[in-house]
Structure 1
Amino acid sequence: MNLSLILDVLPLLADSMVLTAKLTIASIILGAFIALPLSLMRASLTAFLSFPVLAYTFVFRGTPLLIQLFLVYYGASQMDWIRSSAAWFILREPFWCALIAFSLNHAAYTTEILRGGIRAVPFGDVEAAKALGMSYALRTRRVVLPAAIRLALPAYANEVVLMLKASSLASTITLMELTGTARKIVAQTFSPYEVFISAAVIYLGITLVISYAFAHLERHLAKHQQRNAQTGMFWFAEMIATLRPRLRGSVSR
């Protein structure tokens, strides 16, 4: 293994890392905006609202992302009405096609993750909000969604990491992101081992940053639970200290 080649390739791949980060972040943000209302519909007990979302998530979770990407990039060009419309100015660019495919796929997984978080919100919290006279929109915004997001955060962190790795598929539609640039350098240097190790190191670095950020966010959102646990332990210790003299007196008798 040529260590000097790995060090020489890293700066070249770092430039393409910007495009990978841009595509991943944009897909995550757009997918989250799509998933938020869909998760509320998916968690609804009304079949009229939940069934169309179920069909959407089933299709996008049940088919490979690569096929979805090809359908958007190659399939759109086969339709005359798309080529003659204003949408063709977007769909003819590989970046926008990748963004659309990745966002729709990410939204499908995020919808199911948030739906699980919404269903896991304690029933008593929702009933307490109803007892206070909160409307559906108010208790969803103040009670349900904050608790659901906190519960779904670990699973969502894994989905973000998977989205980062899935961005490498954009190289199949001529988008020169991190993996695409690595393949180009391999064709020039005939050194796939060193080049792909360099790309893997960069992916690992980005994954480490994402994992650390979500771990910090989880600790921040769980502060109130730690305070409640500390308060409960303090109350329990005080109760034991109060009862101890009485227990000793009863034993001496």
Structure 2
Amino acid sequence: MNFEIVWDSLPRFLSGAVLTVEITFISLAIGLILAIPLAILRVSRNPLVSLPVQGFTFFFRGTPLLVQLFLVYYGAGQFSETLRTLGLWVLFRDPWFCGVLTLTLNTAAYTCEILRGGIQAVPHGEVEAARAFGMSGSKLYRRIILPKAARIALPAYSNEVIFLLQATSLVSLITLMDITGVASRVAARSFAFYELYLTAAIFYLVIVYGLQGLFRRIERRLSGHLRDRPLEEPSVPRG
């Protein structure tokens, strides 16, 4: 194995790791902001409100992420004149923006469905009790439904975060130098494919296990009643 090429490429891998984490967390943050109101609309009984959201999630969950990425990045070129007129071409010609936009919309669709499941899993008795105390509308969602739904949905959402991190490897196909992009570029010149892609895999593993540890800590904090309690010593009656 050629460890020298790996050592020489470490600065580029570190730069690619920074870009990977940056794209991941920006997409997650914006996607979560979009997903919360979408999930509330998704559970609405009014079909005029829920059906458009259902169509949005159906498309982004039902089509490959790579196809979505190409639609945004390459497809935008067919509408370049319209985008120039609107002043948006400067954004859509940037691969970083197209990558973040695609990942944001994709994770917003998945997170919307995860939160919908969490909202619908909130015990009906808790909602009725809150209504009996006079809560309704946004106050009911803010204080009772959304906090409870977040705790229920957290395990599934942690999987979505890890999936999105791994999915960022696709942005290398639109010239972004993330971890996979660095491995591909250097391997194409040195032909050390095994060493470089193994190094890329190790970088992803480190980040993924770091995220898993973070979510375990969050779940443990939010679910204090599930922690193992220390065994109490049996009391000895005094004679």
Whether TM-score is above 0.5 comes out as: yes
Write the mapping of 1:67-82 to structure 2, written as runs, cut at 5 A. Answer: 67-79=67-79, 80-82=81-83
2: CA distance, partners of 1:37 / 1:91: 26
Match of 2:100 in 1: 99
Partner residue, 2:27: 27
Deviation (angstroms), 1:15: 1.5
Alignment check: 8 A CA contact 2:2 2:192 kept:
no
Contact conserved, 1:41 with 1:49, CA < 8 A, in 2?
yes
**Residue in structure 2 matched with residue 194 of structure 1 by the alignment:** 195
Amino acid at match of 2:134: G
| Structure 2 residue 127 is matched with structure 1 residue 126 | yes
**Structure 1 residue 87, shift from structure 2 partner:** 1.0
Residue 9 in structure 1 maps to residue 9 in structure 2: yes
Structure 1 CA distance for aligned equivalents of residues 164 and 85 of structure 2? 32
Number of residues of Structure 1 aligned to a counterpart in Structure 2: 231
Matches within 5 A, 1:28-67: 28-67=28-67
For residues 59 and 75 of structure 2, the distance between their equivalents in structure 1, rounded to whole angstroms, comes to: 17
* Structure 1 Cα separation of the partners of residues 85 and 76 of structure 2: 11
Report the more deviating stretch, 198-207 or 180-189.
180-189
Q: Distance in 2 between matches of 1:117 and 1:140?
A: 12
Distance in 2, Cα, partners of 1:43 & 1:211: 29
- Specify the alignment match of 2:237 in structure 1: none
Q: Deviation at 1:4?
A: 4.5
Question: What residue in structure 1 maps to residue 166 of structure 2?
Answer: 165
Tell me how large the CA RMSD over aligned residues is: 1.8
Report the alpha carbon displacement of residue 67 of structure 1 after superposing the two structures with TM: 0.8
**% of aligned pairs identical?**
47
Q: Tell me if the contact between 1:9 and 1:198 (Cα under 8 Å) persists in the aligned partners.
A: no
- 1:173-212 correspondence to structure 2 within 5 Å: 173-212=174-213
Contact 1:10/1:199 (8 A) holds in 2: no
What secondary structure sits across from 2:74 in the alignment?
helix
Report deviation, 1:82: 1.2
What displacement does 1:85 show? 2.1
Contact 1:39 1:112 in 2 (8 A): yes
1:51, distance to aligned residue in structure 2 (A):
0.9
Larger Rg: 1
How many Å separate the matches in 1 of 2:139 and 2:208? 36
In 2, Cα distance between equivalents of 1:83 and 1:15: 32
Unaligned runs of 5+ in 2: 235-239
Question: What is the distance in 2 between the residues matched to 1:213 and 1:132?
Answer: 36
Could you say which structure has the higher helix fraction?
Answer: 1
Alpha-carbon distance, 1:83 to partner: 2.8
State the distance in 1 between where 2:147 and 2:170 align.
33
Describe the SS at the equivalent of 1:21: helix
CA shift at 1:12, angstroms? Answer: 2.7
SS at match of 1:99: helix
Distance in 1 (CA, whole Å) between partners of 2:74 and 2:20 is: 21
Please tell me whether the aligned partners of residues 35 and 112 of structure 2 are also in contact (alpha carbons under 8 angstroms): yes
Aligned to 1:251: none
Counterpart for residue 215 of structure 2:
214
* Distance in 2, Cα, partners of 1:208 & 1:186: 26
1:115 maps to 116
Which runs of 5 or more structure 1 residues have no equivalent in the other structure? 238-253
Distance 2:8 2:144 in 1: 52
Contact 2:118 2:152 in 1 (8 A): yes
Does the Cα contact within 8 Å between 2:158 and 2:212 map onto a contact in 1? yes
**Large movers: runs of 4+ above 2 Å:** 1-12
